[in-house]
Amino acid sequence: MVRELHVKYPEVARHTSPMPTQFLSIGDTRLFADVRGPEHLPPLIVLHGGPGLDHHEFADYLDPLTDTVRLVLLDMRAQGESDRDAPEDTWTLGQMAADVGAVARALGADRYAVFGHSYGAFVALQQAISEPGAAAASIVSCGVPSSRYLDDIPAKLETFLPLHLREQVRASWASEQHVTTEADFARIMDEQLPWHFGNPEDPRIAEYARRSVGRYAPDVLRRFSAAGYGGIEVQAALGQVTSPTLVLAGRHDRTCPPEASQATAAGVAGASLHVFEASGHMPFVEQQEEFLEVVRSFLRSALR
């Protein structure tokens, strides 16, 4: 599937094919990682959103960070190129958080940082709470500490404009619980992208869609969409986080609102919060230069 998509989108092949990849055995399954950057630098384990997406979500937008860290763009359990035979009862937020430490051990990394975006932010935050201090630093990008921050998404949809995109997103969400093919999953993602950008008619949406095509996991999306997308509930436990933490938010994020990031930063001792004032849910695309500057500065300080 990935090879076919690279033929269709040659620019994606140029970004990914020269870069080393590996399968990491973590006990009950193997996870796929696209590793980018010098071996002597500390690894940054990068967790994609979804659930059901893969590491191609980030395309090459994070690659400039390889002057500071070695990027380990992970396909989480049963997603992307990772083995699809992981038992379905292990497709949980808690297990995916536990997988992060297992990945670090498989890499032989005594010191590592974690970056999670969207659902990946849920995983990064859960890992920081479940295994305090295991990661040298954690970055929580466009996430929430409690599923209650997702409750008003339907109300936000009712005011989402333009109208034809509102109806497109509404129909797309309704189809998530019935998706069975990667092609249908890809269509759903394309239909939902306007919702995730601060400007739903942002001219960069088509370019991002072209650059980020990957291998999708419809079974994972179908399961999570019917079960609250992991049901994150860690706000009361944020005080357990001991590692340096950077919390990122988009001012116009309709899915994971900035108030949720403010609550996360307030609950984690010493956490830093940065809000991207011209972004929705995709600040690494919408304000890439500022995003890279903020993340790089944090990592250089936390990992020195």
Q: What is the CATH number of the domain that holds 242?
A: 3.40.50.1820
Segments of 155-282 assigned E as strands: 245-250, 272-276
pLDDT at 21: 78
Give residue 85's domain range.
2-151+229-302
- Tens of pLDDT along 172-218? 999 998 999 999 999 999 999 999 999 999 999 999 999 999 999 99
Residue 199 lies in a domain: no
Residue 174 lies in a domain: no
Residue 198 lies in a domain: no
Average pLDDT of the residues in 226-233: 78
Average pLDDT of the residues in 83-104: 96
Alpha-carbon distance of 185 to 172, in angstroms, equals: 10
pLDDT above 60 (res 3): no
pLDDT at 226: 77
pLDDT bucket at 227, cuts 50 / 70 / 90: confident
Average pLDDT of the residues in 126-149: 98
Residue 201 lies in a domain: no
pLDDT at 225: 85
pLDDT at 156: 97
Segments of the chain assigned E as strands: 21-25, 30-36, 43-47, 70-75, 113-117, 137-141, 245-250, 272-276
- Tens of pLDDT along 261-289? 999 999 999 999 999 999 999 999 999 99
pLDDT above 80 (res 67): yes
Alpha-carbon distance of 121 to 12, in angstroms, equals: 25
Residue 295 lies in a domain: yes
The domain tally of the chain equals 1
Residue 188 lies in a domain: no
Q: Are 236 and 268 in contact (CB under 8 A)?
A: no
Tokens describing residue 159? 């005011």
pLDDT at 266: 98
Residue 138 lies in a domain: yes
pLDDT bucket at 31, cuts 50 / 70 / 90: very high
Q: State the greatest distance between any 2 C-alpha atoms of the chain, in Å, as a whole number.
A: 51
Residue 157 lies in a domain: no
DSSP summary character for residue 42:
P
